[in-house]
Amino acid sequence: MYRTQAIALSIAIALGTHFPVATSAAEAPAQEPTATLTSADAPLGLFKVMRITLDNAPKLKLQRMKVDAASAQEQMAGGSFDINTTVVAGYQNTGQTNWVLDELTPEHRAPFPAVWPNHDTRNKDIPYLVMGAGKKFRTGISTDLSVTMQRIDDRQTIPRMPPTVTSNTTQVKFSVKIPLLKGAGRVSAAAQETTARLNRQASVSSLQHSLTAIMLDSIKAYWDYKRSTVYLKQVKKALDRVDGWVDQVGSSNANLQAYLENTKGKLTDAQQDLEEKRIALAQAMGIPASETAKMGTPVTDIPLDWDNVLASFDKEALGKAWQEVAIANRLDLKAAKLQLEAAGVQQAKARKDRLPRLNLDLSIGYAGFKHYNAASDFFGSFNSNIPRTDNAASLTFAYPIGNNTAEGVYALRNVGYQQALIGHNEAQRGVRLSIGRSVSNVYGRLQKTVQMNKTVSSYEEAVKGMQGDSKYIGSRNGLATLIDTEEKFLTSVEDFSFAVVDLAKAIAETRFNTGTLITVSEDIDAEADVKMEQIISLPNM
């Protein structure tokens, strides 16, 4: 039986320590241990978020139930090829009157002595044992073996007649039914089992795809939560800097005082945004509202240096490569392909079932016999007094004029196959289009991130240099320039935080679109494998 727990992301990698700050896209950050939410002070890593998400996801639980149901249907379909055994033990008592003297004419009654009873009754005790075994094969051939053993104990009521002797008989018969047209071959006989197996495999792939989609939602929500946390820290640092300038200049500078209040407003906005992103992540994780306050600081970092990746980014080549990877790895495409194969199996069966039924029946057997009523005599009739074997053969032809039922079933199955084919082709088209969007989206996010990284660095250096120069703090015009530069620096920090997170989400979505966000073994009992480099790096780069 397929273990649905295994596919529910029992992450196969060792989840070690917390992620350090990554400065290069090539770095593979360390991994944090899995644990439940404990307190707001506890660090919150990405793998912990995914684990909790998949433990709570109701959609995944429903999909697991579908897998279990499909497995049960496959097991039921395979029952057609079980060996069916029967054993019947019974007893029968019969009585039969052959003649009555009072009803005979004088002429027919004359030979009977006067001491004879008025009637002739034969009582029979018949214990019996019937055993059988039958099996249908996936080629369409079916066999049956039967053994019938019985004892006849004939009790007569006529005096001075030869005594009756208990007789024991055994009938052994082995028969074979061979379909020559309709029902012949695996295409007909094993169609239901094959369809059930393909549907079960499709449900497994759908479960795995649902797992990946749920992971993607949590990853995106986590990166948003991370961005809000980082930006809030930057706003707090900016507020500290402005507070320091106020301490140096005094509250007499209305422009500086207004900027201080403006920065406090940004802090309020940043705190509100963090709370919204915390709730959004809690919703993606499926945790109750009471657990939201326990969500600690996100510790998994996003690489910041993407210059080399942008320099080597070939849109055309990557687009082709990602499409090939997606066609080979997308689990929803695999599910659609399996469903198409299942529809094809039903179509092929319905096509063959339009043929006439032509069956060849063959049988061979024998009859054994033994006297007397001991138990050994009853079972000894199995191999005693066998004169010869019995053989039989017959050819049966059947065909309904018009054949409307079979023709109608074939028409329905053909429609089902065409619908599955359209669904499969549409799924492939959708994947190819999503890859095109991913190429454009990632490239644009890369450009934005690289540019904003340089912008932030330039403004940061400018602010550091200006706030250490007394001519900016000591003069009204210089202070206005410092405030303007600080405002631009804080705006660039916010833009950069959005750019980095948008890039991280675009990368995760690209991994999802190419089917490489997680690694799933062909062994359905194996565990899903998740690696950090699959989340923060691009395929084929």
> Among 27-36, 86-95, 408-417, whose mean pLDDT is lowest?
27-36
pLDDT score of 289: 84
Most confident of 2-6, 212-216, 434-438: 434-438
Cα–Cα distance measured from residue 164 to residue 261, given in angstroms and rounded to the nearest whole number: 122
- Asked if residues 301 and 29 have their Cβ atoms less than 8 Å apart, the reply is yes
Q: Tell me the average pLDDT across 331-345.
A: 96
Is domain 4-75+192-345+412-536 in CATH 3.40.190.10, yes or no? Answer: no
pLDDT score of 101: 76
Per-residue pLDDT at 468 exceeds 80? no
What does the H/E/C string look like for 300-368?
A: CCCCCECHHHHHCCCHHHHHHHHHHHHHHHCHHHHHHHHHHHHHHHHHHHHHHCCCCEEEEEEEEEEEE
Q: Tell me the average pLDDT across 377-406.
A: 94
Q: Tell me the average pLDDT across 84-100.
A: 87
Most confident of 160-164, 284-288, 522-526: 284-288
Contacts of the segment 157-164: beta carbons below 8 A, 24+ positions apart:
157/117, 157/119, 157/120, 157/121, 157/122, 157/123, 158/116, 158/117, 158/120, 159/115, 159/116, 159/117, 160/113
Cα–Cα distance measured from residue 276 to residue 225, given in angstroms and rounded to the nearest whole number: 9
Per-residue pLDDT at 20 exceeds 80? no
> Among 97-106, 152-161, 165-174, whose mean pLDDT is lowest?
152-161
Q: What residues are paired with 144 via a beta bridge? A: 134, 175
Per-residue pLDDT at 500 exceeds 90? yes
pLDDT (tens digit, 9 = 90+) per residue, 310-330? 999 999 999 999 999 999 999
Cα–Cα distance measured from residue 322 to residue 162, given in angstroms and rounded to the nearest whole number: 96
Banded pLDDT at 59 (limits 50, 70, 90)? confident
- Asked if residues 209 and 335 have their Cβ atoms less than 8 Å apart, the reply is yes
| CB-neighbour burial class of residue 199 (10 A; exposed 0-12, middle 13-18, buried 19+) | buried
pLDDT score of 327: 94
pLDDT score of 196: 96
H or E element in which residue 405 lies:
helix 404-467
pLDDT (tens digit, 9 = 90+) per residue, 364-386? 999 999 998 899 999 999 999 99
Domain limits, CATH 1.20.1600.10, in the chain = 4-75+192-345+412-536
Q: Cα dihedral sign for 250, 255, 261, 265?
A: negative
How wide is the angle at C-alpha 40 spanned by C-alphas 36 and 41, nearest 5°?
100
Cα–Cα distance measured from residue 468 to residue 488, given in angstroms and rounded to the nearest whole number: 18
pLDDT score of 9: 34
pLDDT (tens digit, 9 = 90+) per residue, 197-209? 999 999 999 988 9
Letter for the amino acid at 114? A
Cα–Cα distance measured from residue 70 to residue 62, given in angstroms and rounded to the nearest whole number: 13
Average pLDDT, the chain: 86
Banded pLDDT at 438 (limits 50, 70, 90)? very high
Work out the number of other CB atoms within 10 angstroms of the CB of residue 341.
Answer: 19
pLDDT (tens digit, 9 = 90+) per residue, 115-154? 777 777 778 889 999 999 999 999 999 999 999 999 998 8
More confident residue, 71 or 474: 71
For residue 431, which of 355, 498, 515, 312 has the smallest C-alpha distance? Answer: 515
pLDDT score of 302: 87
Q: Report pTM.
A: 0.79
Per-residue pLDDT at 91 exceeds 50? yes
pLDDT (tens digit, 9 = 90+) per residue, 273-300? 999 999 999 999 988 888 888 888 999 9
How wide is the angle at C-alpha 129 spanned by C-alphas 127 and 132, nearest 5°?
160
Per-residue pLDDT at 15 exceeds 90? no
pLDDT score of 38: 56
